Structure 1
Amino acid sequence: MSTWSNMNMQDSSSPIMEQLIYFHDHALMIILMILIVVTYMMISISLNKNINRLMLEGQMIETAWTVTPAIILIFIAIPSLRLLYLMDEINSPTITLKTIGHQWYWSYEYSDFMKIDMDSYMIPQNELLMESFRLLDVDNRAPLPMNTFIRMIVTSEDVLHSWTVPSLGVKADATPGRLNQISFMFNRPGVYYGQCSEICGANHSFMPIVIESINPKMFMN
């Protein structure tokens, strides 16, 4: 769930988002170590003439700062590629939800059930409840079961949109005439918010996404 004044990433609600946060922390620590070493070397060079001569003329140091970045890139690339393939993996989904972007709202179709579809509009500011989020809450939330493998099919009826829920770690372009596919699984119940991430026109910032993760039995009822 989103919170105001939060500078960090949202708490994960899916296994993929957990892995994305782990990779973010992993890469951040590597970048931090590089920053510390480079800063130390620059200060040492500026204060010590002997070290300055070693850095400018030493064959060993040239070899070191050529090989070291290559090794560091390997430690970043391997988990990055692993995560990339995990995000593209589509197993046998239990439920398929189709979402269609319009100017400027979303509509949802539950393909596994007969004639279940709905439009999801942003709630106007003058109709908001005290506990509602301004510019984020909608009149019809899309309910989905937790601990269930879900396939999301994303498309658009008019212009380019982008269906994004940060706490799920999913983002897919909604392209007219094309079906894009993503998959995810909720690991806990809750209400999760997102927004269109493609500048799609005058009311681009007024087409939020709200997904509600609920118990599978409640979902079927």
Structure 2
Amino acid sequence: MNCFKLFGTKGSLVWSIVQYSFFLQDSWGPLMSHISGFHDHVMVVVLMILTVVVYINMVVFFFPCYSRYMKSSEGLETLWTILPCMVLASLAAPSLMTLYLSDELSNPVVTLKVIGHQWYWSYEYEDLSSSSFDSYMIPTCDLLKGDFRLLEVDKSVKVPLNSESRVFVTSSDVIHSWTVPCLGVKVDAIPGRLNQLSLYPSRVGLAYGQCSEICGSMHSFMPICLEVVPQEEFFRWLWSS
């Protein structure tokens, strides 16, 4: 980062492009933290496999006499059978743990229903009050300075900080996908079906997402904006609305 700052504004712009194009977003919850850790684990395994394959190819290419007269080897056959099994097991264990964590739901404080439409989202708060609203993208011509193009909405959906929220996702027309990368959530919105997920945000602020399933000509204009607020502020807003 510091090396990019040496080039001033252009360097900061390049760093922003690199950061948000090639890396995962910062984690806003325990699920995304596990996903990031699993990603790093997979990259280490891939790098180790690549190193071994390159090394073996170099040995075979530069020293062909070592393997020219080798007809069979039970040791090698055992090795290339056991090692892949161990690698797959090392990938399966954290993957299953992350998958289990994404479905775990213990004690939600609020239930939110998300309904996908062509081409906007509707939100309904259950249990505590009957509050519902539609969320549309703000046109580019109406954006304020500092706003994000194709990500800002007229009404953001509020969720409490450091609290578990149950989210039901469905659709009224075609298949959509409700996705918030920094929270590690992505679930399909299917007509006639309710899909469930849990949110546990650990940072105050605005979390952005978009529809991740091609749903028509305006698919790119279905942003998602979650506003994470302290729990007391959330309940004050919910009762006042």
Q: Match of 1:47?
A: 62
* Counterpart among 6, 14, 24 of residue 39 in structure 2: 24
1:66-215 mapped onto 2 (5 Å cutoff): 66-215=81-230
* Counterpart among 26, 29, 46 of residue 14 in structure 1: 29
Structure 1 unaligned regions, length at least 5 = none
Letter aligned with residue 87 of structure 1: S
The DSSP-based 3-state class of the residue aligned with 1:57 is: coil
1:65 aligns with 2:80: yes
Deviations 1:120-140 (A, max 9, x none): 000001100011100011010
The DSSP-based 3-state class of the residue aligned with 1:110 is: strand
The DSSP-based 3-state class of the residue aligned with 1:26 is: helix
The DSSP-based 3-state class of the residue aligned with 1:172 is: strand
Give 1:50 deviation, angstroms. Answer: 3.1
Contact 2:110/2:128, CA 8 A, preserved across alignment: no
TM-score by length of structure 1 reads: 0.95
Give the whole-Å Cα distance in 1 for the aligned partners of 2:69 and 2:203. Answer: 56
Give the whole-Å Cα distance in 2 for the aligned partners of 1:210 and 1:148. Answer: 18
Contact 1:55/1:61, CA 8 A, preserved across alignment: no
Contact 1:160/1:200, CA 8 A, preserved across alignment: yes
Give the whole-Å Cα distance in 2 for the aligned partners of 1:151 and 1:77. Answer: 27
Give the whole-Å Cα distance in 2 for the aligned partners of 1:145 and 1:13. Answer: 13
Q: Which has the higher helix share?
A: 2
Structure 2 unaligned regions, length at least 5 = 1-14, 237-241
Contact 1:123/1:138, CA 8 A, preserved across alignment: yes
Aligned length: 219
CA RMSD of superposed structures (Å): 1.4
TM-score by length of structure 2 reads: 0.87
Contact 1:107/1:118, CA 8 A, preserved across alignment: yes
Letter aligned with residue 93 of structure 1: P
Contact 1:162/1:171, CA 8 A, preserved across alignment: yes
Q: Percent identity?
A: 50
Give 1:178 deviation, angstroms. Answer: 0.8
Deviations 1:71-119 (A, max 9, x none): 1111111111111111111212111111100000001011123331111
Contact 2:176/2:189, CA 8 A, preserved across alignment: yes
Give 1:13 deviation, angstroms. Answer: 0.2
Give 1:163 deviation, angstroms. Answer: 0.3
Give the whole-Å Cα distance in 1 for the aligned partners of 2:119 and 2:176. Answer: 9
Letter aligned with residue 184 of structure 2: G
Contact 1:23/1:80, CA 8 A, preserved across alignment: yes
Give 1:62 deviation, angstroms. Answer: 2.1
Contact 1:46/1:52, CA 8 A, preserved across alignment: no
Letter aligned with residue 120 of structure 1: S
Give 1:198 deviation, angstroms. Answer: 0.6
